[in-house]
């Protein structure tokens, strides 16, 4: 059997907050309960959205919570040549093409891109991949069969933006393949792009991975806790309360004797008692 490889892949747009701690813990427990590796990859693909110092703050928080990763941290900012090489290969064989449609034009077309520039032979603009492997459904380990929004299924999606930034979907799949990831565990906000990511595995003729989407922590106004919404950073001086809180959010019923233990015993108990079935069914919940 192949060894389980999981990962936590934060974007350094801010320090670790409760929502990202949930994603870190869920992927950690699932990897360790499967006797696998847990990798950390910093998704620093989009410099304008990054916060100076966030990468260090995230790694420091993981250390403070004793979430020890396997191997070296991988940085997407150091992997541009790999993404570009794949794009060049697709451009050369006609699988990808340049597109100059504006957001406004796409909006006028009902919000989805109908393939306008496919055969125009343009030499600059955003780069799109021809959708030859549309995905309508995928299996989530918790939620079962998930349906991909019909408008997204057939779209030739962007793999490199007009401003030169590589698209998240491309980088995440190329990296997960290169790192030998066997299962992707992350927040339910990423259910939607999963169809495109599976299309990429098929286009690249790579074995697919399995998926587990975790419940999303929402604030009292019903907004996802996110760095963009300035969610508060988790306490790294006194990690235990947030750790226990995040574990309860993931459905653990923690005995009092464990609550009074130290961090490493709590985490070990978590690995031993992790069950996908105990995760809440709702995709979005207030912690």
To ligand GLU, the closest distance from the beta carbon of 155 in angstroms equals: 19
Q: How far is CA 46 from CA 19, 114, 179, in A?
A: 20, 26, 21
Q: Which strands form 37-42's sheet, in the order they lie side by side?
A: 5-8, 37-42, 74-75
Per CB under 6 A, contacts with ligand GLU among 21-80 are 43
To ligand GLU, the closest distance from the beta carbon of 110 in angstroms equals: 27
DSSP code of residue 276: G
CB of 165 within 8 A of CB of 87? no
The separation between CA 161 and the C-alpha centre of its own chain, rounded to angstroms, equals: 19
Closer by beta carbon to ligand GLU, 117 or else 129: 129
CB of 209 within 8 A of CB of 30? no
Kindly tell me the burial class for residue 163, based on how many C-beta atoms sit within 10 Å of its own C-beta (0-12, 13-18, 19 or more).
exposed
CB contact set of 79 (below 8 Å; sequence gap of 6+)? 171, 174, 175
Per the listing, tokens 């780069």 go with 127
Q: Does 172 bind ligand GLU (CB under 6 A)?
A: yes
Selected from 4, 6, 11, 214, the binder of ligand GLU by CB under 6 A is 11
Closer by beta carbon to ligand GLU, 32 or else 99: 32
Among 4-12, 81-89, 151-159, 257-265, the segment contacting ligand GLU (CB under 6 A) = 4-12
CB of 130 within 8 A of CB of 95? yes
CB of 195 within 8 A of CB of 152? yes
Selected from 4, 5, 9, 225, the binder of ligand GLU by CB under 6 A is 9
Closer by beta carbon to ligand GLU, 99 or else 209: 209
126 to 165: interface string for ligand GLU, x by CB under 6 A: ----------------------------------------
Among 90-98, 158-166, 184-192, 254-262, the segment contacting ligand GLU (CB under 6 A) = 184-192
Q: Does 250 bind ligand GLU (CB under 6 A)?
A: no
Closer by beta carbon to ligand GLU, 50 or else 155: 50
Closer by beta carbon to ligand GLU, 43 or else 183: 43
Among 6-14, 109-117, 248-256, 257-265, the segment contacting ligand GLU (CB under 6 A) = 6-14
Q: Helices in the chain by DSSP H: which ranges?
A: 18-33, 54-64, 80-92, 103-108, 150-153, 168-178, 194-203, 240-249, 256-259, 263-273
Between 80-92 and 168-178, two packed helices, what is the crossing angle to 10 degrees? 110
Among 7-15, 29-37, 127-135, 245-253, the segment contacting ligand GLU (CB under 6 A) = 7-15
Q: Does 190 bind ligand GLU (CB under 6 A)?
A: yes
Number of residues that bind ligand GLU (CB under 6 A): 8
Among 8-16, 61-69, 115-123, 261-269, the segment contacting ligand GLU (CB under 6 A) = 8-16
Residues lying near ligand GLU in the complex (CB under 6 A): 9-11, 43, 172, 184, 186, 190
């Amino acid at each position: 059997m192949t060894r389980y490889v999981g990962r936590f892949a934060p974007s350094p747009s801010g320090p670790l907050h409760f929502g990202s701690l949930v994603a870190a813990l869920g992927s950690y427990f699932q990897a360790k309960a499967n006797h696998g590796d847990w990798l950390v990859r910093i998704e620093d693909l989009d410099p304008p959205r990054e916060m100076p110092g966030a990468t260090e703050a995230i790694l420091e928080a993981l250390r403070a919570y004793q979430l020890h990763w396997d191997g070296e941290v991988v940085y997407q900012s150091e992997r541009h040549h790999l993404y570009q090489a794949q794009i060049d290969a697709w451009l050369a064989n006609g699988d990808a093409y340049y597109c100059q449609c504006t957001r406004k034009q796409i909006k006028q077309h009902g919000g989805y891109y109908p393939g306008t520039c496919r055969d125009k032979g343009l030499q600059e603009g955003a780069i799109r991949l021809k959708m030859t492997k549309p995905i309508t459904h995928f299996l989530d380990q918790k939620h079962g069969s998930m349906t991909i929004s019909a408008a997204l299924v057939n779209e030739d999606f962007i793999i490199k933006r007009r401003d030169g930034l590589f698209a998240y979907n491309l980088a995440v799949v190329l990296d997960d393949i290169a790192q030998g990831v066997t299962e992707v565990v992350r927040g339910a906000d990423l259910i939607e792009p999963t169809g495109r990511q599976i299309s990429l595995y098929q286009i690249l003729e790579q074995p697919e991975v399995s998926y587990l989407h975790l419940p999303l922590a929402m604030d009292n106004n019903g907004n996802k806790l996110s760095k963009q919404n300035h969610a508060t950073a988790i306490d790294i001086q006194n990690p235990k309360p947030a750790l226990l809180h995040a574990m309860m959010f993931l459905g653990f019923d923690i005995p009092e004797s464990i609550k009074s233990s130290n961090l490493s015993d709590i985490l070990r108990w978590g690995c031993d008692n992790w069950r996908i079935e105990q995760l809440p069914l709702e995709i979005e919940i207030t912690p």
